[in-house]
């Protein structure tokens, strides 16, 4: 007898992919490394369930993280089957939970026609609740409470079930009461926000055995994409639904879990075997994207992480040999931007498609120097997953302040900043301002001067308007004596603009402050405010009309799932990457996530990967001597070629494994503004165990141990932490 040949859709798979597709019974975890055909496995498995008659289309629950991924899966399954597939339970977590909740809305105190609020509606409703409870919105911004409530919902915690470890001191420990009042208000309006969709449905499945049994009978198989990115409530929802047939297949990569800042729990994938005893794990390790040196370097780096299930990528193509990763040492960040620009120009001359080149940065503010270098070279580019530097909200606001200060007739700039941050100049005041300007035929700012002498405005908005106008005059006068960078700092500080973002608790707020500081750094390169504003006007007009391929600039987080022939990874220095902010907040766990982020960056490259670091980096106007990232020492030396004119001796007792410390020029320093904390150079004088010290973020504490430039400190408020000595000063 001869074996029946495999169907075409199975014959196209390699052995490990086919094992993942054909293992249909029981729990299965598919550890899919970067570039190993994860999407093909997931869609082929879905089609295989239908082709073999194991399930009808409506008996498979398939969960994705994006609508795009859901559409792609639907199309691919239809292509394998040769016909469109209807009646699927296929979509994002929120879409599927909303579909379920419509059926059982009354169990959550809602009607089936409930409204789903978007973030703007959610903020307005929260504001109403907070005002009704007498909360000072200036001291306790709405976004702060939104972030806290979203965190609780992501962790599956309804009002009344917030444990002590999850409590918040927001609004003098009133966050839980405000959460309960907000949920009651939502119910009264027959509404739910996005976090409620999964929270309500999880509570229903937990509390109603009949509803849970109904879904156990309905879903014979469950497929989950990007399982490493699930948060706690998504995990609970999936686990409840999988208790029936236990035929759950989760596809993910523990080495690419990089979203803890938005609630993702890497522990969900790490404990899969414990949650589902008898589970099988299939590892997809044949990479069809990158060359062997790139894969070897990435595997050697990520092997340093302890919190992983383990796999090693290997080339899946026969032509996988290629050039080694290049690590370029440079004197400063300006030279780094020039190096990247020059290599992109050279690659273009060699015929490289610009659309296959990417610059991947750890922090959004880093894009500015590369944007300006590409502009100078006439190389078209795009900022992927976000706005170009000078088009970002906070940069446009800051520039509008500068324009309004310089030009009293600039109505567009004045209108943008007149009530940002909120000054009580609402629609009524603005309407009066516009009316006066039209009647008098003068710019808004001159009309505002006239309104101050009338009774057209109530006392509070009139006082706020007077303060703004006086500030614009004072700042303009200061340009003659203090210089445009110092005045710009004063504008952002005294206007309350930076304080607005410091009080904002949203995940984007810290990045916006970083961008404002980078804006000040950029201004130091120009001789005057007028020259800087002219430069921005020219930058904004740069390549909007350009057609064709463009270089991609993006953060490492935004790059996940993408791939390019040529990838630049700049700024691999301690404090920048790994991020000191992340390490301060998350310790060893955060370091492992930073290393996963480095792994993601390297594995975006198909053929060429260039990593760079600078001996001096001007951060927010301050020249700072830098130490190369510990990740550079963790790259397998046999897969790396080191280049650059700034070679350095190894640190004698490096805590990073003996990595190079680049000799640097004496750093030039521009005084930091009152709203930022400048990085300090490493100290010459050593600290002592038992010494009392002060940290700008964590306050006072005593040193308990010293290891090179790392201090273990028992802080008087909060948990003990390990910090770099340059962020600490004697008390």
Give 703's contacts (C-beta < 8 A, 6+ positions apart).
Answer: 687, 688, 689, 690, 691, 693, 711, 712, 713
Q: What's the angle, vertex CA 570, arms to CA 568 and CA 576, rounded to 5?
A: 150
Q: How far apart are CA 428 and CA 234, in angstroms?
A: 45
Active site residue 225: yes
Are 25 and 9 contacting, i.e. CB atoms less than 8 angstroms apart?
Answer: no
For 516-662, list the strands marked E by DSSP. Answer: 551-555, 564-569, 605-619, 622-625, 640-644
- Six-digit token string for 198: 């999964």
Catalytic residue chosen out of the listed positions 423, 604, 618, 630? 604
Active site residue 285: no
Closest listed residue to residue 162, CA positions, set 124, 125, 137, 199: 199
Closest listed residue to residue 598, CA positions, set 625, 571, 619: 571
Residue in the block written with tokens 């516009």: 434
Are 192 and 101 contacting, i.e. CB atoms less than 8 angstroms apart?
Answer: yes
Q: How far apart are CA 88 and CA 224, in angstroms?
A: 14
Q: What are phi and psi of 667, to 5 degrees?
A: -70, 135
Q: What are phi and psi of 45, to 5 degrees?
A: -65, -40
DSSP-based three-state secondary structure for 624: strand
Residue in the block written with tokens 């929120």: 94
Catalytic residue chosen out of the listed positions 122, 202, 228, 256? 256
Q: How far apart are CA 298 and CA 266, in angstroms?
A: 19
Give the dihedral sign, CA 251/256/262/264: positive
Residue in the block written with tokens 């509070």: 460
Q: How far apart are CA 131 and CA 174, in angstroms?
A: 13
Output DSSP code: residue 579. Answer: B
Catalytic residue chosen out of the listed positions 154, 193, 203, 225? 225
Catalytic residue chosen out of the listed positions 17, 36, 38, 489? 38
Catalytic residue chosen out of the listed positions 16, 193, 203, 226? 226
Residue in the block written with tokens 């444990």: 163
- 443 CB neighbour count, 10 Å cutoff: 16
Active site residue 256: yes
Q: What are phi and psi of 636, to 5 degrees?
A: -60, 120
Are 94 and 63 contacting, i.e. CB atoms less than 8 angstroms apart?
Answer: no
**Residues with catalytic annotation?**
38-39, 225-226, 256, 604
């Amino acid at each position: 007898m001869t074996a029946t040949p495999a169907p075409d859709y199975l014959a196209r798979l390699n052995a490990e992919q086919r094992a993942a597709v054909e293992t249909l019974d029981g729990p299965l975890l598919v550890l899919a490394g970067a570039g190993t055909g994860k999407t093909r496995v997931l869609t082929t498995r879905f089609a295989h369930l239908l082709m073999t008659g194991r399930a009808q289309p409506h008996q498979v629950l398939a969960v994705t993280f994006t609508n795009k991924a859901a559409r792609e899966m639907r199309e691919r399954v239809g292509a394998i089957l040769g016909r469109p597939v209807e009646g699927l339970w296929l979509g994002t977590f929120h879409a599927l939970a909303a579909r379920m909740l419509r059926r059982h809305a009354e169990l959550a105190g809602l009607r089936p026609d409930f409204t789903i609020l978007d973030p703007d509606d959610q903020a307005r409703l929260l504001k109403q609740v907070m005002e009704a409870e007498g909360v000072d919105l200036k001291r306790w911004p709405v976004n702060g409470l939104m972030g806290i409530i979203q965190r609780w919902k992501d962790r599956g915690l309804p009002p009344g079930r917030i444990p002590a470890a999850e409590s918040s001191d927001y609004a003098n420990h009133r966050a839980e009461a405000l959460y309960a009042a907000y949920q009651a208000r939502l119910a009264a309006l027959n509404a739910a926000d996005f976090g409620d969709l999964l929270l309500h449905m999880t509570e229903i499945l937990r509390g109603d055995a009949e509803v849970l049994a109904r879904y156990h009978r309905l879903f014979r198989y469950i497929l989950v994409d990007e399982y490493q990115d699930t948060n706690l409530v998504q995990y609970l929802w999936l686990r409840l639904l999988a208790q029936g047939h236990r035929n759950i297949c989760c596809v993910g990569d523990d080495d690419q879990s990089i979203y803890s800042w938005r609630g993702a729990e890497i522990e969900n994938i790490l404990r899969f075997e414990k949650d589902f005893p008898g589970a099988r794990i299939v590892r997809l390790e044949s990479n069809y994207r990158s060359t062997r040196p790139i894969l070897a370097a990435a595997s050697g780096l990520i092997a340093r992480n302890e919190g992983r299930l383990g796999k090693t990528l290997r080339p899946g193509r026969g032509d996988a040999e290629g050039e080694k990763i290049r690590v370029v040492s440079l004197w400063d960040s300006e030279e780094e931007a020039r190096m990247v620009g020059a290599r992109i120009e050279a690659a273009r001359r060699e015929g490289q498609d610009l659309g296959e080149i990417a610059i991947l940065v750890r922090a959004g503010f880093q894009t500015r120097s590369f944007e300006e270098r590409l502009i100078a070279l006439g190389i078209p580019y795009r900022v992927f997953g976000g706005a170009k530097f000078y088009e970002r909200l906070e940069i446009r606001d800051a520039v509008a302040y500068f324009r309004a200060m310089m030009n009293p007739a600039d109505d567009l700039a004045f209108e943008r900043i007149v009530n940002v941050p909120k000054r009580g100049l609402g629609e009524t005041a603005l309407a009066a301002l516009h009316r006066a300007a039209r009647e008098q035929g003068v710019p808004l700012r001159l009309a505002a001067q006239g309104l101050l002498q009338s009774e057209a405005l109530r006392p509070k908005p009139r006082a706020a308007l007077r303060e703004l106008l006086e500030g614009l005059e004072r700042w303009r006068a200061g340009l003659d004596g203090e210089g445009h960078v110092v005045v710009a700092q004063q504008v952002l500080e005294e206007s309350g603009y930076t304080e607005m973002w410091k009080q904002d608790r949203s995940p984007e707020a810290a990045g916006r402050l970083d961008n404002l500081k980078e804006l000040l750094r950029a201004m130091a390169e120009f001789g005057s405010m007028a020259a800087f504003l002219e430069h921005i006007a020219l930058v904004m007009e740069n390549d909007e009309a350009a057609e064709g391929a463009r270089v991609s600039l993006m953060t490492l987080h935004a790059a996940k799932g993408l791939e390019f022939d040529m990838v630049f990874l700049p700024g691999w220095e301690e404090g920048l990457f790994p991020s000191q902010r992340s390490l301060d907040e998350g310790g060893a766990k955060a370091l492992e996530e930073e290393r996963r982020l480095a792994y993601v960056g390297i594995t975006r490259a198909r053929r060429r990967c260039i990593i760079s670091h600078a001996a001096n980096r001007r951060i927010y106007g301050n020249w700072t001597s830098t130490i190369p990232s510990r990740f550079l020492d963790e790259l397998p030396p046999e897969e790396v070629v080191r280049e650059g004119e700034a070679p350095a001796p190894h640190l004698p007792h490096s805590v990073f494994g003996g990595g190079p410390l680049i000799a640097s020029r004496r750093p030039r320093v521009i005084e930091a503004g009152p709203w930022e904390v400048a990085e300090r150079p490493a100290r010459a004088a050593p600290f002592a165990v038992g010494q009392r010290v002060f940290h700008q973020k964590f306050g006072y504490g005593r040193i308990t141990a010293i290891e090179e430039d790392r201090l273990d400190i028992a802080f008087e408020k909060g948990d003990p932490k390990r910090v770099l000595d340059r962020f600490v000063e004697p008390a």
